Amino acid sequence: MQVHKYDVVIVGAGGAGMRAAIESGQRAHTAVLTKLYPTRSHTGAAQGGMCAALANVEEDNWEWHTFDTVKGGDYLVDQDAAEVMAKEAIEAVLDLEKMGLPFNRTPEGRIDQRRFGGHTRDHGKAPVRRSCYAADRTGHMILQTLYQNCVKHNVEFYNEYYVLDLLMVDQEVTVDGETRLEKRVAGVVSYDLASGELHVFQAKSIVIASGGVGKVYKTTSNAHTLTGDGMGIAFRRGIPLEDMEFFQFHPTGLAGLGILLSEAARGEGAILRNSDGERFMERYAPTIKDLAPRDIVARSMANEVREGRGAGPNKDYVLLDLTHLEPAHIDAKLPDITEFARTYLGVEPYTEPVPVFPTAHYAMGGIPTNISAEVLADNDTVVPGLYAAGEVACVSVHGSNRLGTNSLLDINVFGKRAGIAAAQYALTADFVEIPENPTVETEALLDRARSSEGGERVALIRKELQDIMDANVQVFRTEETLLEALSVIDGLEERYTRITVQDKGKRFNLDLLEAVELGFLLDMAKVMTAAALHRKESRGGHFREDFPERDDENFMTHSMAYRDPSATRTSGVRLETKPVIFTRYQPMERKY
Amino acid sequence: MEKEPASKVELAPGVGGGGEIPTFDITLKVRRYNPEISDEAHWDEWKLTMYGTDRVLDALHRVKWEHDGSVSFRRSCAHGVCGSDAMRINGRNRLACKTLLKDLDTSKPILVEPIKGLPVEKDLIVDMEPFFQSYREIMPFLISKGHSPTKERLQSSEERERYDDTTKCILCAACTSSCPVFWTDGQYFGPAAIVNAHRFIFDSRDDAGDMRLEILNDKEGVWRCRTTFNCTEACPRGIQVTKAISEVKQAILTRRV
């Protein structure tokens, strides 16, 4: 076991992690640990853009952006956080431009902007051009630009280091003569893929920026590597997870494959049609139609299919129609996604509509933080030195449904805040002593996976997990489907104790790591399902057919899921609530 | 673009396609190497029944998940944007997640090997460090002199277009590891580093073009390129790599970008 010592350790090298590293690396001794290589993270798959009220092409202001974010999240957004994000969005875009990001430009040479779902002028009057973009490769450009600037600032990376445990200790703290126990973070335990050795990183500040958990679903836009590791290690160490019942299904995944076709397609004028050739969004969202927020569009699509108006021989998808757009316009603004349609489905988007269906896309919930990206151990107790940013975190700026482009914004605004705050804390704080035998639990976890000879296959358990999540915890949910899912997950968890990992070596043992990742997926699926069961109302991305209305009286609260083996009815997950922060907007009925 | 599309249209029969996806049989041969077990590399093969929409990556997953968990390869996004899974497929560098099996000749075994010119670590996994080292050496970040404006720097669409092609690079190493010069001379910067230098040399906002041209005027720089076009053919993003290298050569000769 090797021990490394840094002021700041950042877990994850996607957009949030690298944005944090650029700030932290210039202020304190910083290391970035990533289970991939830096430019492999899924930020690079984001396409459409990053909203900021630059008002480069039409009137706009950050207050409208705040309102859209709050309404888009069906009023479960913490409004102080949304305000911070919308205000700092402008600087975040300008920061990226100064770092070199090649934005598309207006005829005057300014950053160009386009429409995106749920982003409107003057509180919902009409769509507004707010999304700053680089063709349909905005995430790719952000990831590359951030990595380039990490190279510029000599940020230290540990590539292919999987962080498997968070070293938390209870420390006695005396405040005003009163002594109590406070959770503190001492470092992380990581597994070096190349050698199979464990490395302990002691740090004053830890920033978790490890991304989402989309691989709990079968049909997903997410990378294979998005297995909820960061949420998992925090949850196992007693940190709650907030709003995990809210998972976003992106309307336009390539049918059957889940590969993402950006909402930018609709921003540029594409529309959805059913098997009758009808532009059905006119019925569901008469004002902004195909540019309604994602939860509404995804549910409308699923409803069309359920009512028999799906296209194709099995009537199981709808059609994204770009055929009324000029090919030159498509080439200039949407080159990548049209290539995806050609490569993977053999469909020519110039002349044929593209088969699409909702695909699991984004976790609105995650590790609870305040607006300084500090992690909360309960509704209001900060864990000193522990930070989270990006999809792994829940600030909450997305509430029950995230607006398109607000994720690229989130990683930049809160990644930067986390990096600055982590470095500043490290400059004044002392190291927390590493507990004795820091790797004992991680070693036990790995040994169990390596030595078990029960014959169960990791891939099969994972497939069954993804199947039940797709079938029972997707766009439509009921108490019955959720209870069934929980009991299936319990069964899979039991089988998980009897897996066999075939690769017995130390070198690049991805077979072993897939087994470990499955453990995180099972934990997170359980939390998501238990939280969905707990919320007996419909709001944003969470739709309960048995409770189809929003119920502000009983559920205008965040959910907080704690690990608690005594909560047997909900598979060891205890649900509590946390108040939503309101500043200027009172809940209204959500119509578009 | 601004004209409103029709509320209802007549759809062509059979639009969208789908339904029963055809299956077919393949033989997948993978170059195996694990120094923990043996210093010798060898081939393993599997017969698999695959679907019409499957890619080489799906076949590799099928093997790993159902037959032999020790088969090792990198992958992440699985749709051609993260750059993890460049490999040699039937002798050509491609991304496994972007290569549809039905587009290969499935009457013969499909051969999958690690990319060439970088040290093999295990099976299809190579040491990427030399590749990233070359990338870092060309200073792949915007360097601008003078004061930073309060708002964004201005750049015309034409100026933006000048370097658009080379911004598409995903650092997968398909180009560099397809280059015969790189195979025999590990010191050569290789196409990917030059592509990334090009991206900044031709960016109107950048002021360090001369420094990068000086670096690439080195004996291991652009002049080692023999214009074999392997790199252009290998690029999964369709970047005109050889053209970019030629433009850098031209810029060194004329010192004009």
Q: How far is A475 from chain B (nearest CA, A)?
A: 22
The per-residue pLDDT of chain A, averaged, comes to 96
pLDDT in tens, A384-435: 999 999 999 999 999 999 999 999 999 999 999 999 999 999 999 999 999 9
Whole-number Å distance between alpha carbons of B231 and B116:
13
Structure tokens that stand for A103 in this block: 């934005």
Whether A530 contacts A464, CB under 8 Å: no
Q: How far is A165 from chain B (nearest CA, A)?
A: 22
Residues 68-127 of B with CB under 8 A from A: 68-70, 72-73, 75-84, 98, 100, 121-123, 125
Find, among A367, A360, A368, A391, the residue nearest to A232 by Cα.
A367
Whole-number Å distance between alpha carbons of A63 and A195:
51
Residues 124-183 of B with CB under 8 A from A: 125, 128, 132, 136, 139-142, 148, 151-157, 159-160, 163-164, 167-171
Contact A507 B34 (CB under 8 A): yes
Print the SS3 string covering A150-219: HHHCCCEEEECEEEEEEEEEEEEEEECCEEEEEEEEEEEEEEECCCCCEEEEEEEEEEECCCCCHHHCCC
Tell me if residue B142 falls in helix, strand or coil.
coil
Whole-number Å distance between alpha carbons of B118 and B86:
12
> How does A29-64 read in b/e, with b if 16+ C-beta sit within 10 Å?
bbbbbbbbbbbbbbbbbbbbbbbbbbebbeebebeb
For residue B1, the model assigns a pLDDT of 45
Q: What is the DSSP string of B24-54?
A: EEEEEEEEE--TTT-SS-EEEEEEEEEETT-
Whole-number Å distance between alpha carbons of A179 and A172:
6
Indicate the range of A329-333, A521-525, B74-78, B244-248 predicted with least confidence: A329-333
Tell me if residue B225 falls in helix, strand or coil.
coil
pLDDT in tens, B182-232: 999 889 999 999 999 999 999 999 999 999 999 999 988 999 999 999 999
Q: In chain A, what percentage of residues exceed pLDDT 70?
A: 100
For residue A576, the model assigns a pLDDT of 98
pTM: 0.97
Number of neighbouring beta carbons within 10 Å of residue A498: 12
Contact A502 B142 (CB under 8 A): no
Looking at the partner chain, which of B64, B83, B200 has a beta carbon nearest the beta carbon of A40? B83
Whole-number Å distance between alpha carbons of A214 and A222:
5
Residues 22-41 of B with CB under 8 A from A: 34-37
**Tokens 């940020």, residue?**
A155
Find, among A389, A473, A406, the residue nearest to A220 by Cα.
A473
- Cα maximum dimension of chain A: 75
Looking at the partner chain, which of A40, A109, A509 has a beta carbon nearest the beta carbon of B155? A109
Q: How far is A389 from chain B (nearest CA, A)?
A: 21
Looking at the partner chain, which of A94, A110, A194 has a beta carbon nearest the beta carbon of B154? A110
Instruction: Please name the amino acid found at residue A86.
Output: A
Strands B125-126 and B86-89: unpaired
DSSP letter, residue A476:
E
Sign of CA pseudo-dihedral A470, A474, A478, A483: positive
Q: In chain A, what percentage of residues exceed pLDDT 90?
A: 96
Q: Is the pLDDT of residue A557 over 60?
A: yes
Residues 178-207 of A with CB under 8 A from B: 194
Closest residue in B to A459 (Cα) is B65
pLDDT in tens, B126-172: 999 999 999 999 999 999 998 889 999 999 999 999 999 999 999 99
pLDDT in tens, A115-130: 999 999 999 999 999 9
Q: Is the pLDDT of residue A591 over 60?
A: yes
Say what the ipTM of the complex is.
Answer: 0.96
Whether A189 contacts A60, CB under 8 Å: no
- Interval A228-254 mean pLDDT: 97
Contact B35 A329 (CB under 8 A): no
Q: Is the pLDDT of residue A302 over 80?
A: yes
B243 CB-near residues (< 8 Å, 6+ apart): B165, B232
Q: In chain B, what percentage of residues exceed pLDDT 70?
A: 97
Residue B10: its chain A contacts at CB < 8 A?
277
Tell me if residue B113 falls in helix, strand or coil.
strand
